[in-house]
Structure 1
Amino acid sequence: MVTGYFLLPLDHLGPHRPALSWTLFVASLTLIALLLLRQVTDVVVGRRGARPGLVIPLLMALSVLVFAAAYFGLAKRPGEFVGLGTRLDALYFTMVTLATLGFGDITPRGQAARLVTMVQILYNFVFLTAAATSLTRYVRDRVVGRPERQGD
């Protein structure tokens, strides 16, 4: 997935095609959120045949890459970011935001950049926290050897 992020033609997105860029960003995040919620539900009800140990980490990584792509596209618009110029910078900023570190070397200055950063923070709190908690529960139950629930 990371290789795909660096190879995708992201230069076609950004200020030159704002409608397409925003549509892809919102649609991607919505789809990933719904798939994460499905996995969380599968863990909570103990649905047999679910594979949260594989799917949740992939979806979490994909959400990080979607935010990085959005930041990369936003950085092409003058005044949106200070210090963000490459795909690696965008991925770095996404990870720093996810980890709530905020080194200050990359700063969202424009309104759109700040909006996407706030969306990422909320997305992290709601979806990634729920997914990580469910994944932890799934792994713990597998290690302890608790039988899976039948999905009452």
Structure 2
Amino acid sequence: MVTAYFLLPLDGLGPQRPALSWTFFVLALALIAALLLQQIAHVLLDRPHARPGLVIPLLMCLTILVFATAYQALAQHPGEFIGLSTRLDSLYFTLVTLATIGYGDITPHGQTARLVAMLQILYTFIFLTAAATALSRQLRTAFLRRESSHRSSP
């Protein structure tokens, strides 16, 4: 996924085509949110054939790449960001925002960039935190099951 992020031609997104950019951004986040909620439900309902341990981390990575793509598209518009010019900068800013570190070397100055940064923070609090909690619950349950089956074996 990261390789695709760096190799895909994303020149069609940004200020040249704002309607397409916003549509892609909103639909991608909505789809990922729905898939994350589905995986959370699988964990809570203890569905035997679900694979949240594989799917949740992939969806979390995809979320990061969607936000990085949005920041890269916004950076093409003058005045939205200071210090953000490459895809690596966009990925870096996304991870710094996700980790709530905020070094200050890249800053959103435009209203749209600030809106997307706030959306990322809210999305992280709501969806990624719930998904990480479900993932840790699923891993704990799998560990306890394995532990009890080893104890019951002679």
Q: Same fold (TM over 0.5)?
A: yes
- Tell me what 2:152 maps to: none
Q: Summarize deviations over 1:101-135 as a string: whole Å, max 9, x none.
A: 00000000001100000000000000000000000
Report the CA distance between 1:28 and its aligned residue.
0.1
Query: Aligned with 2:11: secondary structure?
Result: helix
Where 2:25 maps in the other structure, the secondary structure is helix
Query: TM-score, normalization: structure 1?
Result: 0.95
TM-score of the superposed pair, with normalisation by structure 2: 0.94
Question: Residue 117 of structure 1 aligns with which residue?
Answer: 117
Amino acid at match of 1:79: G
Could you tell me how far 1:144 is from its partner in structure 2?
A: 1.1
Shift of 1:11: 1.3
**CA positional deviation for 1:33:** 0.3
Instruction: Tell me the equivalent position of 1:150.
Output: none
Alpha-carbon separation, structure 1, partners of 2:9 and 2:70: 13
In structure 2, list runs of 5 or more residues that go unmatched: 149-154
TM superposition shift of 1:48: 1.8
Q: Which residue of 2 aligns with 1:92?
A: 92
CA distance in 2, matches of 1:112, 1:79: 10
C-alpha distance in 2, partners of 1:25/1:40? 22
Distance 1:33 1:93 in 2: 21
Distance in 1, matches of 2:5 and 2:75, equals: 16
Residue range with higher mean Cα deviation, 56-65 or 138-147: 138-147
Q: Counterpart of 2:13? A: 13
> Matches of residues 68-87 of structure 1 in structure 2 within 5 Å?
68-87=68-87
Cα distance in 2 between the residues matched to 1:8 and 1:30: 21
Runs of 4+ residues deviating >3 angstroms = none
Q: Which residue of 1 aligns with 2:33?
A: 33
The one-letter amino acid paired with 1:138 is: Q
Q: Quick one: which amino acid aligns to residue 53 of structure 1? A: G
Deviation at 1:53, TM superposition (A): 0.3
Aligned match of 2:143: 143
Report the aligned-residue RMSD: 1.0
Identity %: 68
Q: Deviations over 1:67-108 (max 9, x none)?
A: 000000000000000000000000000000000000000000
Q: Which ranges of structure 1 fall in alignment gaps of 5 or more residues? A: 148-152
State the one-letter code of the partner of 2:107: T
> C-alpha distance in 2, partners of 1:104/1:131?
28
Higher RCO, Cα 8 Å, sep 6+ = 1
- Quick check: 1:51 aligned with 2:35? no
